[in-house]
Structure 1
Amino acid sequence: MPDLVGLHGWPALVALAAAAVVIGFSKTSFGGVAAISVAVFAFVMPAKESTATVLLLLIVGDLVAVARYRRVRWRLLPRLLPAVVPGLLLGALFMNLVDDTVMKLTIGGLLLVMVLIQLRPRLRGRSQRRVSSDEPPHGPTSAAAGPGWPVQIGAGVAAGFTTMTANAAGPFMALYFLAARIDKMQFIGTNAWFFCIVNISKVPLAASLGLYTGEGLWLVLLLIPLVLAGTVVGVSVIKRVSQRQFEIVTLVASAIAAVSLLVL
């Protein structure tokens, strides 16, 4: 086992431990807060290697979320997942071409862009607010497969690229799933299955890029219990919040992570 304290120091390890709890918490509640963990790991570790370490921790949270949330809009997944593949390949190629500094700036930039994408409809007024988590899906279109194929392809490619390069596709998927007019619990269940499938498929790509290190794997083993603890907290908290609170926390967390990576 490597000397993780010697490599990083206690303050950094404490920050990683907190980030692991946040990863678990995000998988069973506010998905966007995982962006903070992405930023923390990118600060403490080399940015590229950090994405591989975060990926394994995310998969742990994904498995818990899949087991916990059974309400899923299954029709959305087969129309969306094929478009993710080109995005994953583009992301893997990009990671192989850029250095660590560019990678860190890319993570921050992607997070910030996705925050702005989510803010835009809110700044245009309340009249087009998305369906509340407490409201059931409305009308016959609520049972449809979701937005049309151009939106599906765009969301899938964007999600594939951003999740491969920054583990940060959550905001894109939030937009897509909310556009499909599904309630909060169905949103979390569908989101869990989507990212479980996508994240597992990313493992061979990350390995082919040489991103898994002994240090990173030891960190994963040490942090898994904290991820699991975070999932328990998330399950408890999400029952007590409204959709409005859900969206605000997600956006603020993503914005903080983005700015910190771009400025610091």
Structure 2
Amino acid sequence: MPQLEPWQWALGALCAFSVGLAKTGLPGLGILVVPMIVLTVGDARKAAAWLLPILCTADVFAVVYWRRHAAIGRLWSLAPWALAGMAGGAAALSLQERVLRPMVGAIVLIMLAAYLIRRRARNPAAIAPHPALYGIAAGFATTVANAAGPVMNLYLLSKRLPKEEFIATGAWFFFVINLTKIPIYAAHGLFSRQSLVFDLLMVPAVFAGALGGRRVVEHISPNMFEWLVVALTALSTWFLFR
């Protein structure tokens, strides 16, 4: 059993609930979990491994629930670049966390600026970033910090998907990517018995959040959904620089 203070257990449960909520209703919320899990665990490097099984649990729920809406074809051009980014991220795991996190934040800011510029342009397709940029950035960010959410959100927003397809397609992307990260983290010795027990105890909170996310998305208009994702992405980037 992990030796955590009551406030750490409470914060961990909030993390798990937020992950579930993000996977089925508010995609931009997921990145806010990154700093919270670091506070819960107390070790920024190991926090990614404590969070990964929670993410995988929520991914399963999201994939099953949104299975009829996924636009899988949108991901094929992204997949090889994401794997390349993951390879770079795996190599970078030996770097100090205080170096990695600002790097991820800078990537997200560049992507956010590109999205906003593209949205205001008269011919958005003419300035759309290549999938390679999104894929490498997402693969790197998810491997070093479980922080690919903002990058992937901006990629899916650029495709102008309906909110149901947006969530479903993102769910499939992270389902595959997060499973791929398991051997990488295991090779670096980041999993432990304590972390896995913690993750098991957080499952009810994940499902509670996932059920809540389903209700949230049903009551949000497409335009509000888009700007909520943008706002949460911008807010979450601030945490990456702290």
Give the TM-score, by structure 2 length: 0.87
Cα deviation, 1:163-189, whole Å, max 9, x if unaligned, reads 101111122112222222321111111
The answer for the alignment partner of 1:68 in structure 2 is 65
Q: Is the 8 A contact 1:155 1:173 kept in 2?
A: yes
Identical amino acids, percent of aligned pairs: 31
CA distance in 1, matches of 2:120, 2:39: 37
Q: Is the 8 A contact 2:20 2:208 kept in 1?
A: yes
* SS of aligned partner of 1:3: coil
Deviation at 1:199, TM superposition (A): 0.6
| Match 1:234 to one of 210, 213, 217 | 213
* SS of aligned partner of 1:71: coil
The answer for the alignment partner of 2:143 in structure 1 is 164
Residue 44 of structure 2 corresponds to residue 47 of structure 1: yes
The answer for the alignment partner of 1:94 in structure 2 is 92
The verdict on how the C-alpha distance between 1:119 and 1:129 changes in structure 2, with shifts beyond 3 A counting, is farther
The verdict on how the C-alpha distance between 1:192 and 1:128 changes in structure 2, with shifts beyond 3 A counting, is farther
CA distance in 1, matches of 2:122, 2:170: 23
Write the mapping of 1:187-226 to structure 2, written as runs, cut at 5 A.
187-226=166-205
Letter in 2 for 1:107: R
| Match 2:21 to one of 7, 22, 25 | 25
Note the aligned Cα RMSD (angstroms): 2.6
The verdict on how the C-alpha distance between 1:78 and 1:121 changes in structure 2, with shifts beyond 3 A counting, is closer
CA distance in 1, matches of 2:220, 2:203: 26
Larger Rg: 1
Q: Is the 8 A contact 1:112 1:255 kept in 2?
A: no
The verdict on how the C-alpha distance between 1:128 and 1:190 changes in structure 2, with shifts beyond 3 A counting, is farther
The answer for the alignment partner of 2:224 in structure 1 is 245
The verdict on how the C-alpha distance between 1:236 and 1:128 changes in structure 2, with shifts beyond 3 A counting, is farther
* SS of aligned partner of 2:70: coil
Cα deviation, 1:195-252, whole Å, max 9, x if unaligned, reads 1011101100010011102221111011011001100000011110123332443344
Q: Is the 8 A contact 2:23 2:213 kept in 1?
A: yes
CA distance in 2, matches of 1:112, 1:16: 27
Q: Is the 8 A contact 1:108 1:258 kept in 2?
A: no
The answer for the alignment partner of 2:83 in structure 1 is 85
Letter in 1 for 2:89: G
CA distance in 2, matches of 1:21, 1:107: 23
The verdict on how the C-alpha distance between 1:220 and 1:129 changes in structure 2, with shifts beyond 3 A counting, is farther
The answer for unaligned runs of 5 or more in structure 2 is: none
The answer for unaligned runs of 5 or more in structure 1 is: 131-140, 142-146
CA distance in 2, matches of 1:18, 1:235: 17
| Match 1:14 to one of 10, 13, 21 | 10
Q: Is the 8 A contact 1:39 1:258 kept in 2?
A: no
